[in-house]
A and B are shown apart, each in its own frame.
Chain A
Amino acid sequence: MRKKRTKASCALALVLTLGGTLTGCGGGEGGGSGGKVTLRFTWWGNPDRAARTDQAVKLFEKRHPNIDISTSFAGFDTYKAKLATQAAGGDAPDVMQLDYRQINQYATSGILLDLGKHRELRTKDIDKGLLATGVVDDKQYALPVARGAEAIPYDAALWRKAGVPEPTIDWTWADWTDAMRKLKASKKDIGGRVGSTDPGQSEDVFEIWLRGRGKALYTEGGGLGFTADDLTRFWEFTTKLRKEGVVAPAEQTTQMDGTVENTPLGRLKAVSDFNWDAPSSGYDPIVGKGLKLAPLPAGDDGKPALYYKPSMFFGASAKSQHPKQAAQFIDFLLNDPAAGAILGATRGIPANDSIRDKVLPKLEGFDQVVSAYQKQFEGKLKDPPAAPPKGDASLQSTFTRDYDQVSYERLSPREAAENYITEAKAELKQ
Chain B
Amino acid sequence: MTATATRPQDAASPAARAKRAPKRERQGAAWVFLSPWVIGATVLTLLPMAVSLYLSFTDYDMFDAPQWVGFRNYTQMFTEDPRYWRSVITTLTYVVIAVPFQLVLALAVAIALKSVKRGKGFYRSAFYAPSLLGASMSIALVWRAIFNDGGTVDNLLSGVGIDIGGWINKPGWAILSVALLTIWQFGAPMVIFLAGLQQIPAELYEAAAVDGASWWRQFRSITIPMLSPVLFFNLVLQMIQAFQVFTPAFAVSAGKGGPADSTLVYTLYLYDRAFTASHMGYASAMAWALLLAIGVVTAVLFRTSRAWVFYANDNNEGAR
Interface on A for B, CB 8 Å cutoff?
1-3, 6, 10, 13-14, 17-24, 26, 77-78, 81, 84-85, 87-88, 105-106, 108-109, 111, 250-252, 254-255, 257, 262, 393-394, 397, 400-401, 404-405, 408, 410, 427
Contacts and interface: CB of A to CB of B under 8 A. Distances in A.
Interface string B38-70: 000100110011001000000000111000000
Nearest to B47: A23
Interface in B224-242: 229, 232-233, 236-237, 240-241
A257 B256 contact: yes
28 contacts: A2-B312, A6-B229, A6-B233, A6-B311, A10-B232, A13-B237, A17-B237, A17-B241, A18-B240, A18-B294, A20-B244, A23-B45, A23-B48, A23-B49, A84-B62, A87-B62, A88-B62, A250-B260, A254-B259, A255-B148, A257-B256, A262-B254, A393-B277, A394-B278, A400-B256, A404-B258, A410-B260, A427-B277
Interface stretch (B10-18, B95-103, B113-121, B165-173): B165-173
Contact of B259 (A78, A262, A404): A404
Contact of B169 (A22, A85, A255): A255
B256 A250 contact: no
A262 B141 CA distance: 14
Contacts of A24: 244, 246, 267
Contacts of A26: 44
Contact of A251 (B49, B255, B259, B312): B259
Interface string B250-265: 0000111011110000
Interface of B: 41, 44-45, 48-49, 52, 62-64, 148-149, 165-166, 169-171, 229, 232-233, 236-237, 240-241, 244, 246, 254-256, 258-261, 267, 275-278, 287-288, 290-291, 294-295, 298, 311-314, 317
Contacts of A87: 62-63
Given A257-B255, A404-B261, A408-B260, A393 B278 contact: yes
A129 to B, nearest CB: 27
Contacts of B63: 84, 87-88, 105-106, 108-109, 111
Contacts of A77: 255, 276
Contact of B287 (A22, A400, A401): A22
Contacts of A106: 63
A19 B240 CA distance: 11
B287 A18 contact: no
Given A251-B149, A255-B169, A401-B256, A18 B317 contact: no
Nearest to A252: B169
Contacts, number: 120
Nearest to A394: B277
Contact of B313 (A3, A254, A400, A405): A3
Contacts of B317: 1, 3
B276 A250 contact: no
B62 A18 contact: no
Contacts of A408: 171, 259-260
B137 to A, nearest CB: 12
Contacts of A78: 255
Contacts of A22: 45, 48-49, 52, 287-288, 291
Contacts of B49: 19, 22-23
A206 to B, nearest CB: 18
A235 B48 CA distance: 43
B291 A21 contact: yes
B215 to A, nearest CB: 28
Nearest to A2: B313
Given A81-B276, A397-B276, A404-B261, A10 B233 contact: yes
Contacts of A262: 254
A20 B294 CA distance: 12
A87 B246 CA distance: 24
A3 B48 contact: no
Given A109-B63, A408-B171, 11 more contacts: A3-B313, A6-B229, A14-B240, A19-B41, A22-B291, A111-B63, A250-B259, A257-B255, A257-B256, A401-B256, A404-B261
B288 to A, nearest CB: 8
A39 B64 CA distance: 26
Q: Which 8 A-B residue pairs are closest in the complex by CB-CB distance?
A: A88-B62, A251-B169, A257-B254, A408-B260, A81-B275, A109-B63, A394-B277, A254-B259
Given A3-B317, A6-B229, A17 B170 contact: no
A2 B295 contact: no
Contacts of A23: 44-45, 48-49, 52
Contacts of A2: 311-313
B61 to A, nearest CB: 8
A423 to B, nearest CB: 9
B85 to A, nearest CB: 14
Most central of B52, B64, B166, B255 by chain A CB within 10 Å: B255
A18 B46 CA distance: 12
Given A88-B63, A401-B258, A21 B45 contact: no
Nearest to A257: B254
Nearest to B239: A17
A241 B246 CA distance: 35
Nearest to A81: B275
Most central of B48, B233, B258, B295 by chain A CB within 10 Å: B258
A99 to B, nearest CB: 14
Contact of A14 (B236, B267, B275): B236
Nearest to A105: B63
A10 B64 contact: no
Contacts of A250: 169, 259-260
